[in-house]
Every structure is written in C-alpha cells, then in structure tokens.
Chain A
Amino acid sequence: MPRSLRFLSFALFMMVLAACDSAEPVIEPDLIQAEMVQDLPADPITGFNPTTGQPIGADVFTFFSLRTGEVVPNSDSASTAWDLGFKGTTIIVNGGTSGPGAGAAQVVTGSFEDLTEAPADGYATDADTGTAIATGSGNGWYNYNQPLNLVTPIPGRVLFIQTADGRYAKVRILNYYEGAPESPDPDQDTARYYTFEYVFQPDGSRTLTD
C-alpha cells in the first residue's frame, strides 16, 4: 500500500474514532427513527356534571395510525385505518371488541431503547373482560396518585402493539397533560393530552431498533 494511501486510511480510522468519542451516537444506516406525537387529545374534559361533579367529555376516542403517523377521523372508526384509540386513560387497539383489524398489544417492563425486538407471542386483544392494555392505576401504562390527583406514566413500561394489519410497533407514553409539562400540576395543567413516542417497523418483522 502506498504511503499516502496508508496515511489516508489512518486518517479515516481516526475520524471514525473521533466520531465515536463525540456525544452524538453513531448513526446506524438501518435506523428506524422514533416518532414523537405531541398533545394528542384523548376526549378532553368539556365540563362537569352539575349534579355529580364528574368530568364530562364528548365520550369519543381519538384514533391514531402508527403506520401513517396521523390522526384518523372518527368516521373511519369501523375501518382498519387506525391502530390505537385514546379516551381518557384508556387505550384500545384495532382488534377484538374494539375494531375489525388484527390489532393486539402487551405491556412489557424494560427500557424503550433496549427492547429492540417485539415479543413473538404474549399479545392480547381487546375483549369484554378488558382491554389489551390494562386500565387502572399500576396495571398498564400509568399510575394514579390519589392525594395529588395526578396521572403519571410508569417509567419502564413499553407498549408493544400489533397494528390493524398485523405489523409491529412499540410505544412509550411520555405525558398525559397538555404541553407535556415536566412536573404536571393537575390544578393548572389540562389532562387527557397524550405525548408519546413510537417506533413502527414497516417490513413486518419484529425488529424495532431506534
């Protein structure tokens, strides 16, 4: 190898090393970028029942497609156009009793970044006995703090989703309050606005690298 070429390869090697040293992670070519969804309304509170004081919404789900990254109009609720539906703290999938699709889900404890492959089995779909993503404090994606009246996503809970057409995605809920405040104040901040990130694998495999 000519001396100049040898020098060049050495320089290139050093550049690669330098890139590794920098704070920026090395970008792998096959990366699927995590998408961020901000302030997705989930049946926002429109008022309070004058007799009971119970919060009232329009009692409608907001439907979202993980495949297109867009909100699906409610007129398409009976279609396979959507993958997740949000209403209050309830999240439904497009399958079973909730929709005509092949949607299913399971909640796994772990780090969103480290769980790079969707589980092969263990999925449930929505049924009369309960949704695939369990509701209730501590069961699914959130904890409800009664004294503070605060809904907080449980750190380390990753929602693995099978979309309406049977492909895989993973979702992490980041915030339940409008504007995704770092320390939400239930007296000041408006609840029922989801901020979440997700990774969708279009090729049908279970690989969910980000």
Chain B
Amino acid sequence: MDPLNIPARSNLALVLARTRFLLLALLAVQSSAAQQLDSTAVDSLRFYELADVMVTATRGSDRLGDLAIPAEVLTQDDANARGATRLSDLLGEIGGYTTVHAFGTGVQVQGLGSDYTLILLDGEPVIGRTSGTLDLSRLALHDIERVEVIRGPFSSLYGSDALAGVINLISRTPTAPWQARASARIESHETTHTAVDLAMNQGGARAGLGFDGIRSGGYDLDLATPEPTTPRYTDYTANGHLAVPLTERLTWRVRGRLAQQDQREGVNVSLPPGSMPLTGLGLRTDWSAGSELEQRFASGSKVAVRLYTSRFRTETELGSVDDLLQSRFDQDYSKGEIQLDALLGTKHLVTVGGGAILEAVEADRLRGARRTSSNLFAFVQEQWLASRLFELTASARFDAHSDYARRLSPMLAALVKPHERLRLRASLGSGFKAPTFQQRYLDFTNAPAGYSVYGATDLLASLDELEAQGLVSRYESTFTSGVALRPERSFSVNAGAEGAPFDGLQVSANLFHNTVSDLIEIAPVAELTNGRQVYSYFNLDRVQTQGLELGATVSPFSALSLTARYQYLDAVDLDALEAVEAGTIYRREAGRDRPVRPSEYGGLFQRSRHSGSLELRGILARPDLTVSLRGTVRTRYGDYDRNGNLVLDDASEYVAGHALVHVTLTHGLTDWLTLQAGVTNLFDYTNPARMPSQPGRLWFGGLRLTTAAD
C-alpha cells in the first residue's frame, strides 16, 4: 500500500478519530468495531496489532502505534508465559524497568526513582507509599488483562507523581457469557498461591469476581541480623466489577478491591540468653471503590462522571515486649471528576475534564491526629489529526492544592508516519511531584539513633515548641526559616522511532532526557541540648537522567519470538557533578586526600549504566507447550557512600553487575487444564551483603483451570 495514496483523507481521519472512543469494542479484537474500519485503515494496522490498545496515554482509547509518546503494553500472555503473579515480578524481568527493593519493590523508569512513576489501577491512582515506594508486589495480576506503560511526564493529564511515567493496570473485560478460572501453585519458601476468577457477559452486562491469595513462610538470608530477610506473611486480594448498560448509550460501571497483607504471625528472633526477644508485626490493608457513569453521543463524543475512593492503612510493631515501637499509618483518598471527549470536525479530538481530590492522613508519626488537604484540578487535551502523516497532541493540567503552590503542567507530543512501517515520535513536557505527607507533616524521633525529623509544614511550630522548652542548643548555619516547600518539578524530552523493516522484525529506539529540580531532601536544621539532631525537608537537589532505550522483537515464525531490550543510562546529581567539576569533593587514597575526578563520579546511586533483558518465547501447538526463557542483566551500580564524601566514586561503593536467568514451562494438558513449572534465578545468584533482597533460586509449580479459552 502506498502511504501517499490516501483514498479519502477526511474520511480516514474520521474513522481513526472514532476508533479512539471505541474502547470496549476495540478490546474485543474480532468485534464489529474492527470490521467498521475501512480496509485501508485495517491494512495500515498490520504491523501494529489491533489488540495493542492503550487507554492511558490520552485518557481515551488509542492504538499503541498511533501514540506520539513512548508507550507499551504488557499483556496477560506476557505475564502468564512467565508465571508472573505480581506486577513486581513482571516489570522486574523487562529491560528498562529496574526494580529497587527499599520499603517494598519499586520501579525505576528512565532512571528516575520509583516515587516518580504514577501507578493506576483501571485509570485510578493506587495510594499508599512508604518512603516514596509504592510496593508493586501489592498488585496481583490474576485479573489483569494488560499493563500499560507510558514513559515521560504525564502530569498534564494525571497531576502529581507522573514525572517518569505512568503504569496503568487494566482489569480483564469478560467476553464469554460465563467463565471461571482457578489456579493453584506452590513455590519455594513454603509459599502457596491460589487465585479464582469468575466472569460473565450477559446481554451487554459484564461482571467479574476475583480472589488471589498468597501464604509464604518467608526466608532469612543473613542469620547474623536479628530479623529475617522476609518474614512469614499472608496476602490476599479480592476484587469485583460490574458494567451495566442502563440505556443504549449510557453505561454504569462500578469496581471494588480489597487487599490485605498480614505479618501478624510475627518475627520471633532468638537472641543470646538474657537479651529481650524481639517481635515484629505488620498489617497492611488497602481498599478502593469506584463508580463511573458514561454517556456516549451519536456524534462520537462522550462524557463520563467518576467517583473514586481509596484507603491505605498499615499497623506495625517492632521491638521487645517492654519496649515496643508501634506505628500506624492511615491514608484516605477521594476523588470526583468529570471528563468530556468531543470530536470537533474530523480532525480535532478535544478532551476536557476537572475535579477535586480530598486526602486525609492519620498516623502516629505525623503531627496532629489527622491532617487533610484538598486539590482542585482541570485538564485539557487536544489531539489534532493534521494529516495522515502527522498528528499532534497537546495537553495541560492545572492543579491548585491546599498545601503547596499551584502548578501548571503542559505537554506537547508529535507523531510522524512517513511510511506505513515507520513511526517517528517526539514529546516534551513538564511533571511535578507533590511533597508527601511525610515531607509535610512528619513528627518522628528516633531516640536510639539520636535524631528527630519534622515535616516542612510544621517545622517552625515544632522548633518554637523546642525553643520554649529551652531545648535548642543551636541552629545549623544553612537553615533559613520561612521558605515554603515546593513540589518537585521536571522537564523532559523524548524522541524516538519505531519500525518494522520487514515482517517478523520490530525495532524501536527512544532518546530521553529528564531534569528534575527542587528535589526534596532531608537536611539538618538544629541541634538540641541533649545532642539530638533535628532534620527537616527542603527543596535542594537537581538531578538529570538521560539515555537511550532500544528494543527489538524478532519473530521468524509465529511460534517463536525473541525480544531484546537495552537501556543506556546516564543519571547524575547536577549539584554533586558541579562540585566534583569544581574540585571541592575529595576522596582519601593511601592516606592522602585529593579531589574526585569528574571521570570517577559515578552519578546517582542505584543506577546501572547498562541494563537489558532478553526473552525467548516458543509456543508449540502440539503438544501445547510454551517455553519462556529469559534473562536480565545490569552493570554495577552504587548502593551507599562509604568513603564519607557522599558521592558515588569508590569501587567499594558499587554492587557488582550481574545477570539473572529465569525459565518457565507451560503445558496445556487439556482445553481446561494447564500445568506450569518454572525457576527464577536459575543459577542461584546471590549477594547477601549488598543485595539482601535477592533470595536466590526459587522454583514454582502449579496448575490452572479454566472453563473456556480466552
């Protein structure tokens, strides 16, 4: 097909525009929606499969290939072939998404930390971060149809936290009249995992119920430390959804989810005789409920009203019977919003929306029993289908928050399709991350370690109190009062290309550059008469990440595919880099102090310069066997400063580079019974001193039952 031979440009544009609204229809690949497309449109999609629909990037339904920003979709097949049951399992095996283990499993996108990626479940934010990490192992994949990932700043649509990208988990849409699935498996460390799903689609009404449960014996890699590496726990998730067509064009959807992790069995540590036994308990509960009313109009426009509420609660206890450190965290999030998608003419698709968010937090370590804040927002997006070859998307969002300064977040993205097999993309935008509750309201004293941390909002009040008690011995010279905390903000540029040079080969490349400034860091404020240090949060640092993401999938025939991904990353603290270049940061070598050379500066901690993954997937029809052999590799990365200069510069500060290999075999015994076995970290790579979270080789085996093929 000659890309310049366009039968009826305006007609095609209309069709393309309309497909953007056909969310549910497009999800069913063989639905009538696909047939409504004229043959030209279908042809042009040959290399970008219809199934790869993305709703995250434009808050509407788009084909992945038609997006102007770097995006990808990980499907249920991707998760199933690997045997991944949690989002952390899935992302951790895919190059470009580095999982980091601190207060749970978080993910780095484009070299930015896990607190810069927004996590959504069916388009609504998942709440509950601990020290910035939203633990991805909280998110069970049993009922997830696909995981959409967009990279780059999307505060222009989603507000706070969407600096590095957005990960949106999309629940399964029932297609069969009735379907039931169940799975059970056993894993290393006395772990059992069960999941059950029921789904129905009757007369346009869809409903589903799901349950996912894990019971694990935990493990201890380092017997020298009193606490096990991972304690025993149980974890379950229950979810349900219902979509009812009230009229031909009006649909009501409702969703709910409840998840709980329980470590109440405790950590009972045997210490030398005479010492106090230590216990550690943890209980985490989160739930969410959402309701959406969507009215579609004959013009192709639609309006949706959504209400969403979520709660995240943790209770932990740590210590001995006599000296128990108890801590409680309880977060509420409620949001109401309205979104209008209007097709203006044949070339303009405009989305406008707005709403309000109310948040409340209650915690032992926060000042005041319960703190509340509110956020009003409005956003607008224009998708301009300028021509068959060129599309432009512009969006902006305005956030007015009760606790920090107003933010306007713009984004502009362009897509060029010079050839049916080639897509060129460029985008630039700005994102922001609000100061966390901790950074705003924390009131925490760690007496054994001799320090206190106060949130920025309450710092002055806390210092006044301490001063009234005569406890302040002196202030840090760097401390100046009266500077309000601002949100962290980013500016990003992405430019890339994606193509299918010939059938069976897809390649992509993306260059990225992110600058985040006003990073909120902890810094000393004062010293008390009892020697205690007082810390608070300030807008201090600037970081920059830039690099290249490459991907290639070779599929010489349909039964076999090989996917390779690579990321080159250059991530630096700009202030540290300036200091190194100015020669004011020193290191000690053979008893002498000398300036760190710029070539020795290793950039941000926890970042590998090179990382990548490789997956070989073979699917045999007879016998029904799927083999997934895959590996991840990353070069060395820093963990902590050890030589006192706070920057990464010394060999002792690096964790050695390593490769991990995983294999999963899936065998369909009958139409309704599938067996699966797998090994993660096949060669048992461990590094207890520097990677305590790496448990070594793990195996799993189990079965899946299903009433009908998907």
Q: Give the interface of A toward B (CB within 8 A).
A: 48-49, 51-55, 88, 90, 109-113, 128-131, 134-139, 142-143, 145-150, 152-157, 172, 183
Contacts and interface: CB of A to CB of B under 8 A. Distances in A.
Interface in B592-630: 592-595
A154 B524 CA distance: 16
Contact of A130 (B447, B475, B531): B475
A110 B592 CA distance: 11
Contacts of A134: 476-477
Contacts of A49: 447
B450 A54 contact: yes
B478 A143 contact: no
B642 A183 contact: yes
Given A130-B476, A143-B641, A155-B643, 16 more contacts: A52-B447, A52-B448, A53-B323, A54-B447, A54-B450, A55-B448, A111-B592, A113-B592, A130-B475, A137-B524, A138-B524, A143-B644, A154-B644, A155-B644, A156-B645, A183-B652
A48 to B, nearest CB: 7
Contacts of B587: 155-156
B593 A172 contact: yes
B668 to A, nearest CB: 47
Contacts of A54: 447-448, 450, 530
B586 interface: yes
Contacts of A53: 323, 447-448
A49 B449 CA distance: 12
Contact of B593 (A55, A88, A111, A145): A111
Contact of B645 (A110, A111, A131, A154): A154
Contact of B450 (A51, A55, A129): A55
Interface centre among A129, A143, A155, A183 (most CB of B within 10 A): A155
A152 B642 contact: yes
A142 B584 contact: no
A156 B586 CA distance: 5
Residue picked from A49, A88, A138, most chain B C-beta under 10 Å = A138
Interface in B637-683: 640-646, 652
Nearest to A197: B591
Chain B interface size range: 20 to 34
Dominant secondary structure of chain A at its interface with chain B: loop
A128 B474 contact: yes
16 contacts: A49-B447, A53-B448, A54-B530, A112-B592, A130-B527, A134-B476, A137-B524, A138-B524, A139-B476, A139-B524, A143-B646, A146-B449, A146-B451, A149-B449, A150-B642, A155-B644
Nearest to B102: A147
Contacts of B475: 129-130
A156 B593 contact: yes
B419 interface: no
Contacts of A146: 449, 451
B156 interface: no
B585 A138 contact: no
A147 B640 contact: yes
Interface string B466-482: 00000000111110000
A48 B447 CA distance: 10
B447 A143 contact: no
A115 to B, nearest CB: 10
A189 B666 CA distance: 51
Contacts of A128: 474
B324 to A, nearest CB: 12
A153 B644 contact: yes
Contacts of B524: 136-139
Interface in B316-336: 323
A90 B585 CA distance: 22
Interface in B572-591: 584-588
A112 B593 contact: yes
